[in-house]
Amino acid sequence: MIETPIQRRHRLANQILDVIRDARFEPGHHLREQALSDLLEVSRTPVRAALQLLAERGILEAKRNQGFFLKAHPNDISRLDVEIPATSDQDLYSQIVRDRLAERLPASFLQSDVARRYDVDRATFQRTLARLVDDGLLQKNAGRGWSFMPTLNTDLGLRSSYEFRRIVEPSSFGLTTFRVDASAAERARLQHLYLISHPDLGEVDRRQLFETDAQFHEMLAEFSGNPFCLQAIQQQNRMRRLLEFGSYSNRRRVKDWCREHLAILDAVTKGETRRAAELMVLHLDNAFGVAPSLAAAKARGSREGSADSGGSPPDAANALPHPHAS
């Protein structure tokens, strides 16, 4: 997907935040455009735009004729990220997912029929369908039309996903190529401690909760040194994003999986890979174990939503589980 200038600016701002975290800069540190330009291998103009964005967010201070200086405290920076704005493609992608979860879209459909629902140009619609196919959520029928893959909305798909991850994730710790990135591990640790200590998780953006969860599993897969492990977990996370598209409503479970993540992280950083594998199996089992009751909650929520809109309630048997995080 082509990145817009606005998205590029936000992405570069996140890269600068990574530099600040890794270098452990203190408040008052002068962030020099040329040094960042050389480090990130981009010209000074986009670096200046990204620094200005961070200044607008109160992370940096812009001083006239002097440049940009770090303003935020290191503890605050450890949990900061600049959300990258969605493109029209991403907006359509999200809307199609929401409509499928609410059963406003059938399992199989003709492109011409569905295209009339969305006010987008043909090229955007085609790109979005292609991305859904790439993410393993949609397939083109042998004849005409498209079908959503069963991983999107079935209990069997959910169980199969967890069984697959139960094979891949714990075993990756035992690979000879497994290496811990200490900086990445520390950032993940601080992000999790922030969520555990937060007095009201209801105030935390649900997208942040999902990203913290998903990035943890991708980080460990990357530690494996095996690109196929990483690709597999990235695909599972893409599918999980849709299965868990609604919200992280079980906030007690959020703190539970944060603690489970930290226990796994402690084990891998100490080189206790066998212990880490055991903890990962337990973690995945715990996550799947809460799915049935949350599935029922999702079904109730779907029926209530349909009742409010005057529509017919969806079949509870086909309802998706509520997000439970893993």
Q: What is the SS3 string spanning 257-292?
A: HHHHHHHHHHHHHCCCHHHHHHHHHHHHHHHHHCHH
* pLDDT single digits (tens) 165-216: 999 999 999 999 999 999 999 999 999 998 988 877 767 766 678 889 999 9
- Tokens matching residue 72: 């935020």
**Does the pLDDT of residue 153 top 70, yes or no?**
no
The residues that bridge with 68 in the sheet, in sequence order, are 31, 62
What's the pTM? 0.55
* pLDDT single digits (tens) 309-320: 443 333 333 333
| Mean pLDDT for the stretch of residues 105-117 | 87
Amino acid, res. 156: L
pLDDT at residue 114, as a whole number: 84
Q: Do domains 5-77 and 88-148 have the same CATH topology?
A: yes
* pLDDT single digits (tens) 252-269: 778 899 999 999 999 999
pLDDT at residue 246, as a whole number: 46
Whole-angstrom CA distances from 310 to 106, 296, 313 are: 19, 21, 9
pLDDT at residue 242, as a whole number: 62
Closest CA to 18 of 79, 86, 83: 79
| Mean pLDDT for the stretch of residues 157-167 | 89
* pLDDT single digits (tens) 296-308: 444 544 554 444 4
Where is pLDDT greater, at 176 or 123?
Answer: 176
Q: Is 178 within 8 Å of 223 (Cβ atoms)?
A: yes
pLDDT at residue 324, as a whole number: 55
pLDDT at residue 300, as a whole number: 44
Write down the domain spans for the chain.
5-77, 88-148, 155-309
Domain 5-77 has what CATH class?
Answer: mainly alpha
> Fold for domain 88-148?
Arc Repressor Mutant, subunit A (1.10.10)
- Tokens matching residue 26: 């203190």
Domain 155-309 has what CATH class?
Answer: mainly alpha
What is the band of 132 on the pLDDT scale with cuts at 50, 70, 90? Answer: confident
* pLDDT single digits (tens) 43-84: 999 999 999 999 998 999 999 999 999 998 877 777 677 766
| Mean pLDDT for the stretch of residues 147-168 | 81
What is the band of 288 on the pLDDT scale with cuts at 50, 70, 90? Answer: confident
| Mean pLDDT for the stretch of residues 2-20 | 81
Q: Could you identify the residue written with the tokens 């999200």?
A: 94
Buried b (16+ CB within 10 A) or exposed e, 264-275: bbebbeeeebeb
